[in-house]
Amino acid sequence: MRTWRFEDGGFLALILVITVAFAWLAVPFFGSILWGVIVAIVFRPVYLWLQTRLGGRSNLAAALCLLLILALVILPAFLLGISLIQEAADLYGRLQSGDINLAEMFDTVRNSLPDWADDLMVSAGWTDLAAARAIFGSSLATLLENIAGRALWFGQGALQLLASLGVMLYLAFFLLRDGLDVGRKVKHALPLRPSVRNQLIEHFLVVIRATMRGTVVVSVLQGLVGGLIFWLLGIDAPILWGLLMALFSLFPAVGTGVVWVPVAIYLLATGEYLDGGILVFCGLFVIGLIDNILRPILVGHQAKMPEFVVLISTVAGLKLMGLNGIVIGPIIAALFIAVWRIVASQRPFDEESAAN
């Protein structure tokens, strides 16, 4: 058996220092690297299918896969972002000019409510618009102002945006083409027991795919359908409300109802019974069923986590790392659960503890 030497400790310290230094260099492109890895993992089945159809030409298959990603994901997202900024700027301008009178809308809704609902609003402190705005009204104005302000950011940060996008696509190309070989090398280098290492890597890949398919895809579909319904009903800023529904659908305890329910209440309160009824029906049986039907199918049982864990990890990730945290938070939580399951499985069974 090989004995521990002082030089071994020095080499481990060198590995740690160099790894930290490399991570520090990668920090400016952390988001690009993260999404490059995610894109390569999610689209690998598509790459393998193209590679088979093209007679094993891996470079061409990877390039076509990137073109598919550009056409289906990046270009629509870019066009959606431009439309969102224009819509938010227009809505913010109408709020500032008084074209949209929030005080009048609030009074209209309150006057149409039954006595018990009005009593609930009074007990909650929502006696007028100023009191309600202290809770949520100012947040809407701030959100619109921030989104509208992104127009200037897009112009000033266009070069940085292109650089980040280039890094992501460049990394995704090589991971699609050489991902199997890179995975083997990383797997071999990890200082873990083979059984633990294999379980963690398998769980990591399952969680990445499940998070993207069962969380991101479902939220995008709910936001798309919700925004389309708002547009068909003639409601202002359908893209903005669709984006908000997509965002809130990421949180299990909240969901899209936090957006469409108040709008439905306003429509019913102002006498738009047909539009309000259609929105309620679509919210319950169209937007809601997307989550109830698709999420269990796309996520599966391997990566399923308790809803409170998903909620906490998503909110915490969003707060700490922005949009990247929507993916990183659940991944960290899932790996945390996986690690402790491995620890529990390797401990001897204690009948006395199990009985208690």
In a domain, 73, yes or no: no
149-173 confidence digits (pLDDT tens)? 555 555 555 667 778 888 899 999 9
- Position 227 scores a pLDDT of 92
Query: What integer pLDDT is reported at residue 73 of this predicted model?
Result: 84
Domain count across the chain: 1
Does 221 fall in a domain? yes
Flag whether 60 is in a domain: no
Tokens, residue 116: 């018990």
| Predicted local distance difference test score (pLDDT) of residue 76 | 87
Q: Does residue 115 contact residue 142 with C-beta atoms inside 8 Å?
A: no
CA distance 269 to 113: 7
pLDDT at 196: 79
| Among the listed residues 282, 224, 228, 232, the one whose alpha carbon sits nearest the alpha carbon of residue 257 | 282
At a CB cut-off of 8 Å and minimum separation 6, what does 244 contact? 223, 259
Does a structural domain hold residue 97?
A: no
Q: Which residues of the chain have pLDDT under 50?
A: 129, 132, 134-137
Q: What is the pLDDT of residue 116?
A: 62
Q: Is residue 81 part of a domain?
A: no
Handedness of CA 122, 128, 134, 136 (dihedral sign): positive
User: What are the tens digits of pLDDT across the range 208-243?
Assistant: 777 777 777 888 899 999 999 999 999 888 888 898
pTM (two decimals): 0.74
Number of residues that make up the chain = 356
Instruction: Give dist(CA 241, CA 140) in Å, integer.
Output: 11
Distance CA 229, CA 278 (A): 9
Return left, alpha or beta for 56; rule: phi > 0 is left, psi -120 to 50 is alpha, else beta: left
- Domain membership of residue 13 (yes or no) is no
pLDDT of residue 51: 92
Largest Cα–Cα distance in the chain?
Answer: 83
Give the separation between CA 171 and CA 182, rounded to whole angstroms.
12
Predicted pLDDT at 135: 47
Q: Is 57 domain-assigned? A: no
Residue 15 belongs to a domain: no
Nearest to residue 40, comparing CAs of 206, 166, 173?
173
CB contact burial 110-145 (16+ within 10 A = b; e otherwise): beeeeeeeeeebeeeebeebeebbeeebeebeeebe
14-53: per-residue pLDDT in tens?
Answer: 888 998 998 898 888 888 888 898 888 889 999 999 999 9
Domain assignment of residue 208, given as a range? 190-344
